[in-house]
Structure 1
Amino acid sequence: MSHEQSRTARGFSRRSALRLAGAGGLVTAGGTLLNGSPAAAAGLADLNTPPTYAPSGRRPRHRRATWSQQFQSGHGWSGAGTGTASADVNDTTQFVRGTQSVRVTTTGAGKQSYVRKLGGTSMSLTGKAIRLVFRVDDVTNLSKLSFYLGSGSLANYFLWQFHTHSTTSTNYVQSGEWVTVHLQWADVTSAAGTYSLSSTGVPSTTTGFTDMSFAVYDNAGGPVTYHLQTVELIPDTAAVFPKGVVSITFDDSHTSVHGLARPVMDTYGFSGTVYNIADAIGTGSFLTLDQMRSMQDFSGWEMGGHAYATSAHTASYSQLTAQQVDDDLRTLREWMVGNGFSSEHFAYPHGAFEKTKDGVPVDQIAGRHFTTARSIISETIESFAPAMPYRLKALTGINDGSGIGGTALSNLTAAGGRLDRCANNGDWLILCLHRVVDGTPTASTEISRTGLGTLMKAISDRGIPVVTVAEAMEYYT
């Protein structure tokens, strides 16, 4: 039976099999153009209609802060620095907590601007992570964001450089949005003064802190206005997983995941998450339905979603209209449920969740159909519960090749690498792989079967638990 016959036999009409027309627009299998109002005219639901298979709502509970600064009246923090042109520490024009936040505008000269408080009450951050909520009005001239935690008027500090703005890749921080970031001990960038990091990334102390500073740098091309709403402490990932936890994910439905990756991971009792492109299934070098079901039913793998149409994946959702994205996600979810795959988890094509062609944030559309959505941003590693479940962070391009870019396998497995930081400090390390090969990798999206075995052994040797994305989310729902 062919892929099309199999899908039809499971009760799906050919009209629900959407693909992208070469001229730009989703079309039915019969060729009817579906873009914007023509889509509604063709009988497809618009963005105001709940999807047939809505998410169950199993989203992570809000982590209650053990200490919170929400920047209401009398907070005692200052906005200053050589890179600050103006500051209002009691701004009532933009806020999402209480009735105000701190607003600062930089000089446009590339110097440090900050919101900070020195000499506060000594605090312990043992078993804690830092939660930041902030907004950048326009990221055009944004360069980087950092956070300092220390003592002695910051003569001693740990530094998290948690966002470096890109002009070519999807950014976790986007214009005009309130963003939540979690900073964990596994993500510390550097230390100064009497503070230090061990060879495996363990901080010399996690107590006795009196100073905090939220720092912003523009790119010297113009000023940036930002708002800081909260600095809070929450329980970190180690509260549930003392050695951290790893999720191993594979994008694009390559058959090598079944033939090469699964046997290696079976050896260690590890299960992964595959983010699938539905209309590729059963064609060429891609997984078949039988292979997907075998991995799910006998090895405990999760079958998530990546796109319905291969052409939608190739184009990237940011190149489509909101209606086209919603239609592709709707059809993907229907295909998954209809074929016995209950995962509510999704990975963006190319990791991109910025706005659609007509200005709707892709992550908001994804929330209509899935419980989480994964990116390929890895400035900091993910946490429990995730700061923004529709922008899950993941480390991608992991390979054991030479001169092909991506992330060298040794960056994970060597002393002080990501696996040591995960095991010794605790975080949720989501790994994004694609194709497994028998020989030497020739692209950053490939890892050899031997390299994959090295990675699995390194995880096992450190005693780090491996869970699927769905299993991870069950801890906080």
Structure 2
Amino acid sequence: MSRRSALRLAGTGGLVTAGGALLGTAPATPAAAAGIGNLGTPPTYAPTGLRPRRRPATWSQQFQAGHGWSAAGTGTSSADVNDTSAFVHGTQSVRVTTTGTGKQSYVRKLGGASTSLTGKAIRLVLRVDDTTNLSKLSFYLGSGSLANYFLWQFHTHSATATNYVQSGEWVTVHLQWADVTSATGTYSISSGGVPSTTTGFTDMSFAVYDNAGGPVTYHLQSVELIPDTASVFPKGVVSITFDDSHASVYGLARPVLDSYCFPGTVYNIADAIGTSSYLTLDQMHSLQDFSGWEMAGHSYATSAHTASYSKLSAQQVDDDLRTLREWLVGNGFTSEHFAYPHGAFEKTTDGVPVDQIASRHFTTARSIISETIESFAPAMPYRLKALTGVNDGSGVGGTALANLTAAGGRLDRCANDGDWLILCLHRVVDAAPAASTEISKAGLGTLLKAIADRGIPVVTVAEAMAYYK
């Protein structure tokens, strides 16, 4: 047995040989030094953080003195458009409290200078103090006092699933043309998902709706224009990712991707490797070394993956991430990228945000949120968005493959308008899928052909993040 194949990680966080010799251990308790959740001990392998820099804005409204925007709407109870109590740019932001009646509350500017969004995306920085009664967030871009507008319905709050917008956090959101929801007035969206115009806009409106169960207080810090994904990837870009280390990734998916010379990213559960129906170390190395795939991390312990990190303490999450990264490096896998178990990055049982802990060990972390599709560069690298449940089954739920491949579907929007479409797959099967986490080998072939026919490049997550450093 090779040294690489013999290495495994003990539950204590130490590297162990096949003979049982302990090579190193991680502390069992957090250090007293201050830090994220008082996790003062530095990671064994800190992330390099090699990723694209934050895009500089080509136009910016940061809501400082004299900004000229107003806060109103039938859903607005009170507002301070020059609030100095909470901000991350300058010395103030806009603060609004809704009425708790489910009506629209907004911050807007009408009749401004004509603006072009050709090759641009909208960047929002916002905060919701308490999301308990939040229903949805929208953005309108238009003209004629919003007689004509494009609408982005970019966040609908869930009482059960992981939310991109969480209580008390400043959040960055990118809105691209590939994600526009609808059009009104003289504006329209073609059958291929292309907007009728991307210039001549004079009106902008950021809208918030509570759920009629109580008021919501929100802050708007900035509305900016930045270069969009198409400025780097003119036809958009796709990353094909597989969660959970299923053996079918090697036996069924790899030959199909190889035929198109497409690489994939596998987010691995370390202690599942080499067990029944999961990848082996040799298969992982073959994927990495001969097919150009990326071997990324999903969890070290199967039990941690099953539980989800939000059901663990901050120290337990940090230990699992540390051990996972040690296992990847110790076995010759170079990826610094991670996907949350079940896509969840809420707070741990002792109140520490999971995405902050992930940032100690990895350069990005992927969710399964897909209200809008990811941009390049991403708005929040530790909340990468991905479309999950893609399948060609019947009556199994998830995302129907036809929703991607049909006219005006996600692939057309990716190719025609530009975005970074991260696809999250799980198991590949020979027969018809029996669950939303399965896609047939034939269905995978259909998906890859549709990507190739549109000329969309396929890259691993690591390769995407290597652009525009």
Q: TM-score, normalised by structure 1?
A: 0.93
In the TM superposition, 1:176-187 aligns within 5 A as 176-187=168-179
What's the CA shift for 1:8?
8.4
User: What are the Cα deviations for residues 427-477 of structure 1, in whole angstroms up to 9, with x where unaligned?
Assistant: 000000000000010000000000000000000000000000000000032
For residues 267 and 171 of structure 1, the distance between their equivalents in structure 2, rounded to whole angstroms, comes to: 37
Q: Match for 1:346: what amino acid?
A: F
Q: Which of residues 234, 237, 241 in structure 2 aligns to 1:245?
A: 237
| Residue 16 of structure 1 pairs with residue 16 of structure 2 | no
Structure 2 partner of 1:141: 133
Q: Tell me, yes or no, if the aligned pair for 1:305 and 1:346 is still in contact at 8 Å.
A: yes
Distance 1:174 1:111 in 2: 21
Quick one: which of 395, 411, 417 aligns to 2:403? 411
Counterpart amino acid of 1:212?
A: M
Structure-2 residue corresponding to 1:346: 338
Q: 1:332 aligns with which of 311, 324, 327?
A: 324
> Does residue 221 of structure 2 align to residue 224 of structure 1?
no
Contact 1:79 1:116 survives alignment (8 Å)? yes
Match of 2:251 among 234, 252, 259: 259
1:369-448 alignment, distance < 5 Å: 369-448=361-440
SS in 2 for 1:324: helix
Q: What is residue 76 of structure 2 aligned with on the other side?
A: 84
Residue from 441, 448, 451 that aligns with 1:459: 451
Structure 2: distance between partners of 1:351 and 1:424:
28
Superimposed CA distance per residue, residues 261-314 of structure 1 (whole angstroms, 9 cap, x where no aligned partner): 000010101000000000000001000000000010000000000000000000
- Tell me: CA distance 1:199–1:288, structure 2 relative to 1, closer, same or farther (3 Å): same
Please state how far the C-alpha of 1:60 moved relative to its aligned partner. Answer: 2.4
In the TM superposition, residue 152 of structure 1 has moved relative to its aligned partner by 0.1
Q: Which runs of 5+ in 2 are unaligned?
A: 16-21
Match of 1:200 in 2: 192
Report if aligned partners of 2:13, 2:322 keep a CA contact under 8 Å in 1: no
* Alpha-carbon distance between aligned partners in 1 of 2:285 and 2:38, rounded to the nearest angstrom: 32
State the match for 1:22 in structure 2: none
For 2:409 and 2:325, the matched residues in 1 are separated by 37
> 1:59: Cα distance to partner?
3.0
In structure 2, which of residues 269, 273, 278 is the aligned counterpart of residue 281 of structure 1?
273
Residue type of the alignment partner of 1:82: T
Whether 1:60 aligns to 2:57 is no
Shift of 1:49: 1.4
Q: Where in structure 1 are there 5+ consecutive unaligned residues?
A: 19-28
Work out whether residues 105 and 209 of structure 2, in 8 Å CA contact, stay in contact via their aligned partners in 1. yes
Instruction: Using structure 2 for the length normalisation, give the TM-score.
Output: 0.95
The number of equivalent residue pairs is 457
Q: RMSD over aligned Cα, in angstroms?
A: 1.9
Q: 1:121 to 1:14 in 2, by over 3 A?
A: closer
CA distance in 2, matches of 1:11, 1:406: 35
Partner residue in 1 for 2:299: 307
- Aligned AA for 2:245? S
Q: Is the 1:8–1:14 contact (alpha carbons within 8 Å) kept by the matching residues of 2?
A: no
Percent of pairs with identical residues: 84
